[in-house]
Structure 1
Amino acid sequence: MGSHEIQSLEEKQCLVVNPEPRVLQNNGRRTFFRLLREPFDWLSMLCRELETSFILAIIVVYGFSQGFSGSFFKVVTDYYWKDVQQVQPSAVQLYQGLYVMPWIMKPIWGLLTDVFSIAGYKRRPYFMLAGTLGSLCALLLLQKKPPVLFALIFLTGISTAMSIADVTIDACIARSSIQKPALASDMQSLCGFVSSTGAILGYSTSGMLVHTLGAQGTLGLLTLPLIMIITLGFTMNEAKGMIRTDKKMFAKVNGAVLDMIKTMKYPGVWKPSLYMYLSITLSISTHEGQFYWYTDPKAGPAFSKEFVGVIYAIGAVGSIVGVILYHKFFKEFPFRTVIFFAQLLYGVSGMLDLMFVLRLNLKLGVPDYVFVIMEEMCARIISRIRWMPMIILITRLCPLGIEGTFFALLMCIDSTGSLSSKWGGSLVLQLLKVTRTDFRNLWLALLIRNLLRISTLALIFLVPKAGPADAMLPDEMLDASRNDHDKEEGLQLVCP
């Protein structure tokens, strides 16, 4: 073989070998763009299946009202009670329990939106009412250090506005989950994603704004997302229904109450509802004790206002990660399986808080700011994975026709559990004498909380073994609901 032939053979081999890296590079690039495009394709699918207007309404309520306003409200009110009103941490948890009350009243708001129309409309007026009430209360908080009672009333008014808006959109979500059960997990994933995204924005800006404007001035900014709720009420294209007479309205209320009682008697409904309440109640809240310790310059790490906001913002990122993990890997698993392992991890991960308060992280050479970010991220991922199957299960337990009221009733159980958790934690902090300056027994409160979380596993038998796509209610109950329920409503926004 001559030299020219050898050279020709080598060139042919190069033609075969050299394209391989280019092919791999192109495949990698296509994979990257496919992954980048996947969330948009998913969102497009939801818009196609559920209507774009409905998806926009979810983004407004869950993203701006619950996500942004909820996170903003949490951080700013912590500093408001600590710096402006200067009350003890156990008292703050007691006050927080009081402005959880509107969320416990969600069945009443749900009954209003399902039964009582205003001028023939069942959704628009309640969005406008919620936004107006919340905006007014936020503006009243701007007056110079109102008495504690008035401050509590105004904060409760803001919380009431958020809960009414939440109930109104939840009724639409529950209806869609009944009609398209295969998309129930997707809808809750969307709610969790936009809520967490809004929370990132709220948490990341709250600390900086409190530092700049003060806690009291920053509370006035809550009017902005509440005005968006008012706008949603004006722009919603809702078909005007018949105005019922008093007798028909009373009959409708009576029928809704009887249907709720009948549904709650079904073991497949009351058992998981009982588990949800007990799992939340037994995880007593020690948040205010930890918050005061975080910001204490002597006993604690003395985190700044800006860094406290960053901690919570990173936690919101963890919530998004939890939503993505559940949606990608766990949404097809049975409810009991996911909740059991998530609850176990929830109790174990709480020990990170205990290590932090005991300053074990410093003995291990881990700085405070690194450890608290790691702990918050871990806790929020696990908490979101634990919460997702429970909320999906709730949407699958709602009979058609009273879905708004019944979903609100089940979520009221969640809020009642949260109230019990806050007041139970307040009692523990009070008994252990954890104050604004004394944190010697805070570690014991955390240990009690973690043991109670783990003890919840003994109640896992109350959760059904069924999966998200399985029927939760008997056919006769669903058929009766379909026969009695009014003309289907749509949630559509008027294009400007």
Structure 2
Amino acid sequence: MKTPTKLAVLFAVIYFVQGIAEPGGGIIALPLQFLLKENMGLDATQASYFLASFTWAWTIKPLYGFVSDSLPLFGYRRKSYLVLMNVMVALSFLTLAFAVSYSYSTLLLILSAVSLGLAFSDVLCDGLMVETGKTLNLTGKFQSIQWISISIASVIAGIGGGYMAQSVSPQHSFLFITFFPLLTIATAMLFAREEKKKVSLEHLKNIFGSAKQGFWSRPLWLAAIFIFCWNFSPSFGTPMLYFMTDELHFSKMFIGTLGSIGSVGSIIGAAVFLKIGKKYGLKQLLNITVLLGVISTIWYLWLVGEKTAIAFSILGGIVSMVTLLAILDLAARSCPKMAEGTFFALLMSVYNGGAMVSKVLGGFLLQYTGLQTLIIISAVFTAFCWLLVPFIKTNDEQQETTNQ
């Protein structure tokens, strides 16, 4: 097997496992939400707080990038950390699988360890992808493989999560997930190829120099503000789950299937973006993104039954993927040279931090508003991003302006 093929398989497996195992969006997400609702008796607000609490690990991704770049483990910057992090993930799920009952604090602690391992693995995968992809001129192809892989995992996670929530105990669900990080370990051992490195003082100086330059970048800060505000809109995801269960009486299996339908829409959305991304400039894409975001939020006011739920899920999947890829494009274009990996992770941490605050804010506002009002507030927050688009510039555009 040639090196590019081995790397493609490695990247696909890491993203697939992430799509399956991530507690907030993988195959365990729906069983976990019903565990909180039915076994632990949490209401929608309390569940929103809980689900936001263990996502902190995704907000400090630049730290993982800096550690792996600067401090090789057993001589390797990526491979050794990949194995270590996925051993931790597997042991965490195994611990939950053999638990007789679950307390709030223990469940939160173990799921935080899972999120930490998966977030670190994500950064390691992206770092290896950037390094090898630039050398082989395959960065775009590798990224496409990653997102197709995680979308396929999401299709499986939706249907499988619904089945597990309805028919499988939490312990057996956690045991099933344990095998997936082992797949990452095996693939990393077989296909991760990198030269051994030693800690270098000169290399550390270069990293700090690039970081200093990046932190003074105006385009980077504007991109960070836009990305945070985009995800800052109050989330109604968990309250919507309670609404679909308690008011619309959807089964767990049907709710899981909706997630898979949305993932099929995401695959379609990726194909759509490949076409429109070449036809429009960055600011035009961002304006389209905000418009689609507002529309895809407001239409949940008309969710009344299974037919509208199916339609909204597939359309929402398309819109979500188009908007995500536009934001990833903004993040990639805004990163300063020689520090792309670290600052891409930084912007993705801002993205995840906005999502975490969004869940907390949504849970808080739900106590004082109904679900419909919360949906309208979320749409207004998203529309606010339109005011930021005129100020967005990438580093390349900023350099061109300076040189004129």
TM-score, with structure 2 as normaliser: 0.91
Q: Distance in 2 between matches of 1:174 and 1:474?
A: 23
Map 1:209-220 onto structure 2 (within 5 A).
209-220=164-175
Which residue is equivalent to 2:375? 446
Which residue identity does 1:207 align to in structure 2?
A: G
What's the C-alpha RMSD, in Å, of the aligned pairs? Answer: 2.4
Q: Distance in 1 between matches of 2:355 and 2:51?
A: 10
> Which sits farther off after the overlay, 168-177 or 421-430?
168-177
> How far has the Cα of 1:473 moved from its partner?
7.6
Compare CA radii of gyration and give the structure with the larger one: 1
Which residue identity does 2:80 align to in structure 1?
A: P
Confirm whether residue 192 of structure 1 aligns to residue 147 of structure 2.
yes
> How far has the Cα of 1:185 moved from its partner?
4.7
Q: Are residues 401 and 460 of structure 1, via their aligned partners in 2, closer, same or farther at CA, if it must alter by over 3 Å?
A: closer
Instruction: Spell out, residue by residue over 1:137-191, the C-alpha distance to the aligned partner (whole angstroms, 9 max, x if none).
Output: 111112022211000011111111110110001112334565678x655443332
Residue 369 of structure 1, aligned match among 306, 311, 321:
306
Which residue is equivalent to 1:459? 388
Cα contact 2:210–2:338 (8 A) shared by 1: no
Confirm whether residue 344 of structure 1 aligns to residue 291 of structure 2.
yes
Confirm whether residue 232 of structure 1 aligns to residue 161 of structure 2.
no
SS at match of 2:28: helix
SS at match of 1:87: coil
Confirm whether residue 325 of structure 1 aligns to residue 272 of structure 2.
yes
Q: Distance in 1 between matches of 2:112 and 2:212?
A: 29
Q: Distance in 2 between matches of 1:166 and 1:253?
A: 22
Q: Are residues 239 and 325 of structure 1, via their aligned partners in 2, closer, same or farther at CA, if it must alter by over 3 Å?
A: closer
Confirm whether residue 407 of structure 1 aligns to residue 340 of structure 2.
no
Q: Are residues 256 and 377 of structure 1, via their aligned partners in 2, closer, same or farther at CA, if it must alter by over 3 Å?
A: same
Q: Distance in 1 between matches of 2:36 and 2:248?
A: 20
TM-score, with structure 1 as normaliser: 0.75
Q: Are residues 57 and 332 of structure 1, via their aligned partners in 2, closer, same or farther at CA, if it must alter by over 3 Å?
A: farther
Which residue identity does 1:274 align to in structure 2?
A: I
Map 1:186-335 onto structure 2 (within 5 A).
186-244=141-199, 248-249=200-201, 252-281=203-232, 283-296=233-246, 300-335=247-282
> How far has the Cα of 1:455 moved from its partner?
2.2
Confirm whether residue 78 of structure 1 aligns to residue 33 of structure 2.
yes
Residue 424 of structure 1, aligned match among 361, 383, 396:
361
Cα contact 2:18–2:26 (8 A) shared by 1: no
SS at match of 1:132: helix
Instruction: Spell out, residue by residue over 1:262-286, the C-alpha distance to the aligned partner (whole angstroms, 9 max, x if none).
Output: 11312222211211111111x2111
> Which sits farther off after the overlay, 305-314 or 265-274?
265-274
Which residue is equivalent to 1:55? 8
Which residue identity does 1:155 align to in structure 2?
A: L
SS at match of 2:72: coil
Confirm whether residue 145 of structure 1 aligns to residue 101 of structure 2.
yes
> How far has the Cα of 1:225 moved from its partner?
1.3
Q: Distance in 2 between matches of 1:285 and 1:243?
A: 44
Which residue identity does 1:317 align to in structure 2?
A: V
Q: Are residues 337 and 175 of structure 1, via their aligned partners in 2, closer, same or farther at CA, if it must alter by over 3 Å?
A: farther
Q: Distance in 2 between matches of 1:177 and 1:57?
A: 13
Instruction: Spell out, residue by residue over 1:339-386, the C-alpha distance to the aligned partner (whole angstroms, 9 max, x if none).
Output: 211211210221221122xx4xxxxxxxx1111010111112111111
Q: Distance in 1 between matches of 2:333 and 2:289?
A: 20
Cα contact 1:336–1:463 (8 A) shared by 2: yes
Which residue identity does 1:122 align to in structure 2?
A: R
Runs of at least 5 residues in structure 1 that lack an aligned partner in the other structure: 1-46, 360-367, 433-440, 476-496
Q: Distance in 1 between matches of 2:279 and 2:72?
A: 38
SS at match of 1:100: helix
Which residue is equivalent to 2:328? 391
Which residue is equivalent to 2:123? 167
Q: Distance in 2 between matches of 1:389 and 1:176?
A: 23
Q: Distance in 2 between matches of 1:179 and 1:430?
A: 52
Cα contact 2:7–2:191 (8 A) shared by 1: no
Instruction: Spell out, residue by residue over 1:434-486, the C-alpha distance to the aligned partner (whole angstroms, 9 max, x if none).
Output: xxxxxxx111111111122222211112333x7xxx946859xxxxxxxxxxx
Percent identical among aligned pairs is 20
> How far has the Cα of 1:398 moved from its partner?
3.7
Runs of at least 5 residues in structure 2 that lack an aligned partner in the other structure: none
